[in-house]
Amino acid sequence: MNYAENFCLGHLNSFNLPCCAEYFCSVSSIGELYEAVEFAKTNNLAIVPLGGGTNIILPPILKGLVIRIDLKGSSITPYIFDQPWRELTLRAGENWHESVLYSLSNKLFGMENLSLIPGTVGAAVIQNIGAYGTELSDFFVRLTAFDLDQESVVEISKNDCKLGYRDSIFKNEYKDKYIILDVTLKLNNSPKIDISYPDLSAYFSASSEMPSAEEVAAAVVEIRNNKLPSISEEPNVGSFFKNPIFSKKKFESLLAKGNILKTAPTIAINDSHIKIPAAWLIDKCGFKGKNFGGIGVHKIQPLVLVNNSEFRNPQGFSDLMSVVKNIRDRVYGDFAITLEIEPRIYGELGYA
């Protein structure tokens, strides 16, 4: 196996930040992964797994061994009489959106609302990807992972993954302890269309017939393309912040501070909790469409920060960190709400 030294990851992270990794390798089999882990342990190197690089922020210098997870392949269980579902197992390095299209081409339904989410299948579990009324947890059943301490392959059930809103055990107790190898999804043999998310119901409002799953996927692609910046034109990592979720009691106490929060388009999560769109908070603080050096707050979806700086701007990381700090300080100052950061930030200046 080839271990490249001082390897530039500029083209392997969607925020396009220049980053020099101490060591880099790419693995396409479990055997290669074993070998890479041994190399890291022998040389006392931290391990940094890399998927599509679409939800990470990298510092100019990254110590350790970056292992690109390039495990490819998939399998589908056979039809069983009277069983309305089949299981699709995808290896961690498969591209998420291509996997959605693959599921549809095999008449497997459930993933369509998550079309066009960038990144790989393995990374999808770590943050329990969600969009347009669906979350991965709606159809995820289990995964296999490589235990980095024990150097063994283990199966982890959905329950044990502790999936929540943009959250899983892999961001908490199991952080940096496992590398996800494959993911199994339980998908329906016939579509169960959900177009209740406002953007989707508006899209199909003129039609009296229920759309097909393929039409829902195409609609999601169109909505995302209209609303979110494309990674190739404006490098970004999607939503930079999570939407804050509060108990109704806590929300009442925030309202009592007398700010304009009472006009926020809140969304009920359940009987006791509500979500406030972070996009609205950032918008109300006046950041939408603004540029700070090379870092921009997107003009349509202010939850997304974009990298407009010159390619490989060495200041990119620290510029981004100061914009993030400005936004969080201002939102806290105006609303007493702390915005949680969504992507993983590596590096000393980072928050993670």
Q: Mind telling me the catalytic residues? A: 166, 239, 342
285 near ligand EPU, judged by CB under 6 A:
no
Cβ of residue 290: shortest distance to ligand EPU, in angstroms? 12
Which is nearer to ligand EPU, 144 or 301 (by Cβ)? 301
Q: Which one of residues 40, 279, 305, 323 is an interface residue with ligand EPU (CB under 6 A)?
A: 279
Choose the binding region for ligand EPU from 38-46, 177-185, 277-285, 309-317 (rule: CB under 6 A): 277-285
13 binds ligand EPU per the rule CB under 6 A: no
**Which residues within the stretch 81-100 sit at the binding site for ligand EPU (CB under 6 A)?**
none
200: tokens are: 């989707």
Q: Are strands 178-188 and 344-345 parallel, antiparallel or unpaired?
A: unpaired
Among positions 72, 177, 186, 242, the unique one binding ligand EPU when judged by CB under 6 A:
242
Residue 243 found at the interface with ligand EPU (CB under 6 A): yes
How many Cβ atoms from other residues are within 10 Å of residue 286's Cβ?
Answer: 12
21 or 228, CB closer to ligand EPU?
Answer: 228
Out of 283, 293, 330, 350, the only residue in the binding site for ligand EPU (CB under 6 A) is 283
Residue nearer to ligand EPU on the CB measure, 152 or 196 = 196
Rule CB under 6 A: is residue 238 a binding residue for ligand EPU? yes
CB of 243 vs ligand EPU, minimal distance in Å:
5
Which residue lies nearer to ligand EPU by CB, 15 or 280?
280
Interaction between residue 261 and ligand EPU (CB under 6 A) = no
Among 15, 24, 85, 280, binds ligand EPU (CB under 6 A): 280
Least distance (Å) between residue 298 CB and ligand EPU:
8
Q: Is 301 in the site for ligand EPU (CB under 6 A)?
A: yes
Nearer to ligand EPU, 89 or 243 (CB): 243
By rule CB under 6 A, what string of x and - marks binding of each residue 194-213 to ligand EPU?
Answer: ---x-x--------------
| CA-atom Rg of the chain in angstroms | 21
Q: How many residues bind ligand EPU (CB under 6 A)?
A: 19
Q: Which residue is nearest to ligand EPU (CB)?
A: 238
Distance, in Å, from the CA atom of 254 to the CA atom of 247, rounded to the nearest integer, reads 11
Of 24 and 170, CB closest to ligand EPU: 170
Q: What secondary structure, in 3-state letters, does the chain show?
A: CCCEEEEECHHHCCCCCCCEEEEEEEECCHHHHHHHHHHHHHCCCCEEEECCCCCEECCCEEEEEEEEECCCCEEECCCCCCCCEEEEEEECCCEHHHHHHHHHHCCCECCHHHCCCCCEHHHHHHCCCEECCEEHHHCEEEEEEEECCCCEEEEEEHHHHCCECCECHHHCCCCCCEEEEEEEEEEECCCCCCCCCHHHHHHCCCCCCCCCHHHHHHHHHHHHHHHCCCCCCCCEEEECECCCEEEHHHHHHHHCCCCHHHHCCCEECCCCEEECCHHHHHHHCCCCCCEECCEEECCCCCCEEEECCCCCCCCHHHHHHHHHHHHHHHHHHHHCCCCCECCEECCCCCCC
Extract the tokens encoding 336: 């007493």
Instruction: Assess 132 for contact with ligand EPU (CB under 6 A).
Output: yes
Among 288, 290, 312, 330, binds ligand EPU (CB under 6 A): 288
Q: Tell me the C-alpha distance between 70 and 92, whole Å.
A: 7
**CB of 345 closer than 8 Å to CB of 264:** no
Residue whose CB is less far from ligand EPU, 178 or 241: 241
Binding residues for ligand EPU (CB under 6 A)? 131-132, 197, 199, 228, 238-239, 242-243, 265, 277, 279-280, 283, 288, 301-303, 342
